[in-house]
Amino acid sequence: MKYGLVRGILGYSTTDEQEKIMMKLDVDETYYDPTPLGSKDKTLLYKKLCTMEKRDVLIVDKLERLVIDDISELIEIIDVINTKGLRFIAVKENIDTFNSWSRDCIEMIRILSNITKRLVKTKEEVGDVECDVRMSE
């Protein structure tokens, strides 16, 4: 089944636009997540992912509908999707987890996320000044 994720308060222009995109993509079911776009709560998203079956497709018009604060959260959600054998499509960013190019891009994002985490950890361990000097060399 193809599920379209529409996030936000129904009746506002943002949800109307999302609904139009989902209709064009011929989704089987539109999933409405009323969690406001500014909220960091992903409880309803994870509950929906748990109800989906292998080979189901989750479609969003933009990645921001997943309400991710940083790259590691995106990777975490993608990992859940992959573990369940689901397909994920973000229309605007042209991401499709069943596409080898998209999988490669996601892997690059994962690598960059790990590098960023290590740099932050190093900076915390050695102090701001020493780390700034080492990174500029």
For the segment 42-101, what is each residue's pLDDT rounded down to a tens digit?
A: 888 888 899 999 999 999 998 888 867 777 888 888 899 999 999 999 999 999 999 999
* Domains of the chain from N-terminus onward: 2-98 (3.40.50.1390)
The pTM score is 0.76
Q: DSSP string covering 27-94, please?
A: -SEEEEE-S-TT----HHHHHHHHH--TT-EEEESSGGGG--SSHHHHHHHHHHHHHTT-EEEETTTT
- pLDDT value of residue 53: 94
**Region 113-129 average pLDDT:** 78
Tens digit of each residue's pLDDT (9 = 90 or more) over 11-37? 566 788 889 999 999 999 998 888 776
